[in-house]
Chain A
């Protein structure tokens, strides 16, 4: 009976998955390393470089014109940023089409410096799977917190908490 059960279960076995460590390695991104040399073109000219913001916390939030929650998040973040002048906040568009991003900026009012990542290279390096995703770096450029999604009811309470825990 046990032998039969053993063979039965063997027959039901799923196909062989790749090793866990290989998969986990593909999932993880070395954000600290990625962050040190990150350079994203800014809408108003020049580039955003994390290394140029040592000494103050930095928030990078990735958005796209087709992302519904981003329409709520960006204006709210814009207000939040005006209340936190000691934090540098950047909104990174991942739209492939610059035109779509510009139309969104025109329609959704927010006052944040915008950077463009049309190739989605940075999006990939940061391991972002969905929009909006926000990253908080500490004054030394180390990743302190990340968050995906936006809830109007919750607002930025988690962000405030994460900011409060920074050294």
Chain B
């Protein structure tokens, strides 16, 4: 190619890359305002259709990479490529060749994102498609200069440094913007969270409707009378979920569904269908992905025979890591099922037949995975938020599009917003669940001359044995927390000794696995910091690491001694360097005796 062609290509790339930076910014704004802000931001230039939905794609779990919106990373990328184009225009040797490498990477990544959008989310986003165009142009211009010299190491270093700096700047800007969205938001957390009592009485209404299947075929779907249902049986709008109790995405979806049920339960019918990812009980799947899913589905059906399906489903999702036969039986017992009838049901073919029927129904709708939700015949998948599905419900209910958006935004999960810790926060919180009530320190305790000190921005006590912790609490007029009190506070629900072994942090999860949610979020608590450069933080440095009742740092930072006597002394919650699977409300460290201490052992006090 002539040099003239190369230069024209480079000049044409300049506006394309500026457009890329703009789109990155626009999508970052949309992503943040949808996920972390008021949710009022409407993305221009992205008209929703059967194929296109920017809200779903740009707020899905694939829209972030290590907690950073990929749109933000795009800003750094396009800005760096712009630098490269300028260098190429100034005839810097190797710059044009580097554009080719950037183009290849960008196009490959575009293909990956497009594949994810189509297969996992079921929608594409119009702005993403436009960026794919920019990437294709980048590749094309790169190809024009494929015979130019290879880039010297110095250029690679310069561009690498520019990429790092520009990406950091973009991430920094995004964080600043996100922090402005979080300020002043109120955390309103429903104390009991998702909780179901007895299932409604009677069979599910035999509602029929037309559905567009996952493979875009048209089918008629009829609700089976034996299906688990909730909401209004006379409703004309139905939300039908196909799920697998062993599927992680279904567990995540359960919290979204619970919010929809709470809001639309009076106007909409909610139906649950089993779709275990195991061909031994489900003709709709080919490969065995979940070994316990069939048994769990059967157990849920049997709990449902006693009007306890929804409560059982809650418990099974919470304890998804333990779905063995005996655990399932314990969950049935916990939700109040009669075990004799449950055992009979499990031994009969009845439950298996119902699971098989559900599988056939899923197969007829071309379902390829879980969860799959049909709202008014339209399919939604794992990346769909409650807000997005609420809009579909509102539309099906006949609400005007403007009202539908406004009403759907009212569903925003306020707990996802992290609020700064006020300086005048009470240093103890009153906790009351079931038949226990007590006071617990809001923060981990500091230590001053052997006396426990409660406060924000204290150095948490380190290298404390159980005995020293006990003395320090008593010197402050308080006492050690019992294991039940500590776990109850951490999980935001009354902790029970389900396996009758005297421990509360080693059995069934009644509340949340982490103080803030069922799922780990690295930005919330000071945990998982394995690198030796990390140390514990001052108390109150992690505003997102908060329990339902406003107690901070229950997990991570320092392990906390808990127990009222040396015999039952245990360390709970993990420390700053503990992995996410261990720094949970449910992780009982009773390895060493009460005299043990290390730089990881601290405590907090209770009273009352």
Contact = CB atoms under 8 A, between A and B. Distances in A.
30 contacts: A4-B172, A4-B173, A5-B172, A8-B169, A8-B173, A11-B172, A11-B175, A11-B176, A11-B179, A15-B526, A15-B541, A17-B534, A17-B537, A18-B460, A22-B462, A23-B535, A23-B599, A26-B462, A117-B593, A117-B595, A118-B593, A120-B594, A121-B465, A122-B595, A123-B592, A124-B465, A124-B596, A124-B598, A127-B598, A128-B598
Interface string B586-606: 000011111111110100000
Query: Which 3 pairs from chain A and chain B are nearest by CB?
Result: A8-B172, A121-B595, A119-B595
B93 interface: no
Contact of B599 (A8, A27, A125): A27
Contact of B595 (A15, A26, A124, A128): A124
Contact of A12 (B165, B172, B594): B172
Given A119-B593, A120-B593, A18 B169 contact: no
A94 interface: yes
B566 interface: yes
B200 interface: no
A9 B165 CA distance: 10
A104 interface: no
Contacts of B598: 124, 127-129
B459 interface: yes
B465 A18 contact: no
Contact of A123 (B165, B169, B536, B596): B596
A16 B537 contact: yes
A96 B462 contact: no
Contacts of A1: 169
A15 B337 CA distance: 47
Contacts of B535: 17-18, 20, 23
Interface of A: 1, 4-5, 7-12, 15-20, 22-23, 26-27, 64, 66, 94, 96, 117-125, 127-129
B130 interface: no
B135 to A, nearest CB: 25
B91 interface: no
Contacts of A94: 592-593
A20 B534 CA distance: 10
B450 to A, nearest CB: 15
B592 A96 contact: yes
A120 B596 contact: yes
A27 B340 CA distance: 55
B595 A120 contact: yes
Contact of A26 (B463, B541, B566): B463
Contacts, number: 101
A122 B592 CA distance: 11
Nearest to A11: B175
B423 to A, nearest CB: 15
A18 to B, nearest CB: 5
Contacts of A4: 169, 172-173
A7 B169 CA distance: 9
A18 B536 contact: yes
Contacts of A7: 172, 176
Nearest to B567: A96
Contact of A22 (B165, B169, B459, B591): B459
Nearest to A123: B596
Interface of B: 165, 168-173, 175-176, 179, 459-460, 462-463, 465, 526, 534-538, 541-542, 566, 590-599, 601
B54 to A, nearest CB: 26
Pick the most buried of B168, B591, B593: most chain A CB atoms within 10 A of its CB: B593
Question: Which of A1, A22, A120, A122 is the most central at the interface, judged by chain B CB atoms within 10 Å of its CB?
Answer: A120
A59 B233 CA distance: 75
Contacts of A129: 598
B158 to A, nearest CB: 16
A23 to B, nearest CB: 4
A123 B598 CA distance: 9
Nearest to A19: B459
B529 to A, nearest CB: 9
B132 to A, nearest CB: 28
A16 B599 contact: no
Contacts of B592: 94, 96, 120, 123-124
A129 to B, nearest CB: 6
A9 B126 CA distance: 32
B462 A23 contact: yes
Contacts of A5: 165, 168-169, 172
B465 A23 contact: no
A45 to B, nearest CB: 21
A26 B169 contact: no
Nearest to B460: A18
A114 B535 CA distance: 36
A10 B168 CA distance: 11
B566 A119 contact: yes
Contacts of B599: 23, 26-27
A11 B536 CA distance: 20
Given A8-B176, A18-B459, A124-B465, 4 more contacts: A4-B173, A15-B538, A23-B535, A120-B593
Contacts of A17: 534-538
A18 B599 CA distance: 12
Nearest to A18: B459
A18 B593 contact: no
Contacts of A64: 591
Nearest to A17: B535
Contacts of B168: 5, 8-9, 12
B16 to A, nearest CB: 23
A20 B460 CA distance: 13
A122 B165 CA distance: 49
Nearest to B165: A5
Contacts of B465: 121, 124
A93 to B, nearest CB: 11
A12 B593 contact: no
B440 to A, nearest CB: 22
B463 to A, nearest CB: 4
Nearest to B173: A8
B593 A8 contact: no
Contacts of B175: 8, 11-12
Contacts of B169: 1, 4-5, 8
Contacts of A125: 597
Contacts of B460: 18
Nearest to B529: A14
B462 to A, nearest CB: 4
